[in-house]
Structure 1
Amino acid sequence: MSQFEENDRSLEAQLANDEETLFRILARRNRLLGEWAAGLMGLSDVEGEAYSKDLVRADFEGGGGKDVTLKLLGDLTAAGVEIDEDRIREATREKLVEARRQLIG
């Protein structure tokens, strides 16, 4: 195997690892966001866990971060929580940092 082929395979492996890490970080961020929102809505632990899983699923079935923001905004508003997109975006950034710390160390 040439040095070029070896470098190419190494780069492919690193990219695959980076994609998996990003997937795990985003899933953890969404779970943390779900827990945060569940707390604001006054959901029980069981309901909060289910809501967090739904939020993770919604992100990966939908179009990503914007869909998560809109779902949170709709759900929180429907539950009578006074919130806006800016506060949700702020929480999303905070939970992303927390998720990275939890997974990467």
Structure 2
Amino acid sequence: MTTFDEREQAFEAKFAHDEEMQFKARARRNKLVGLWAAELLGKTGSAADEYAQTVVAADLEEAGHEDLVRKLYGDLGYRATQEQIRGKIREMMPQAQEEILQEDG
């Protein structure tokens, strides 16, 4: 195997790892946002966890996070505006990334 082939394989492996980490971070972010929304809805314990899982699943419908915003806005009604929801999504991403890095490292 040539040095070029080894570099190419290393690059592909890093790319795959980075993509996996981003997917995990988005899923963790969605869970954190789901738990925040569950609290606004008065859900606790296993009901909050179950609701958070529905939020994670909702983000798999289309690219981006607008599907997530629509679901949460529909569920939360007057409890949060779309901008508040988008803000919470942005706010939770660094925390989710840090948690995933701690688990991976």
- Settle same-fold status: TM greater than 0.5: yes
- Matching residue's letter, 2:96: A
Percent of pairs identical after alignment? 37
Given that residues 27 and 56 in structure 2 are in contact (C-alpha distance below 8 angstroms), is that contact kept between their aligned partners in structure 1? yes
Q: Provide the rounded CA distance (Å) in 1 between the counterparts of 2:5 and 2:85.
A: 45
Which residue of structure 2 aligns with residue 73 of structure 1? 73
Looking at structure 1, the residues matched to 63 and 15 of structure 2 have their Cα atoms a distance apart, in angstroms, of 22
Shift of 1:73: 0.7
Alignment length (residue pairs) = 102
Deviation of 1:21 (Å): 0.2
Unaligned runs of 5+ in 2: none
**Structure 1 segments unaligned to the other structure (5+ residues):** none
2:6 is aligned with what amino acid?
A: E
TM-score (norm 2): 0.90
RMSD, aligned α-carbons: 1.2
- Aligned residue in 1 for 2:100: 103
Q: TM-score, normalised by structure 1?
A: 0.90
Moved over 6 A (4+): none
Aligned residue identity for 1:7: R
* Aligned counterparts of 1:99 and 1:87: Cα–Cα separation in 2: 18
How far has the Cα of 1:102 moved from its partner? Answer: 1.2
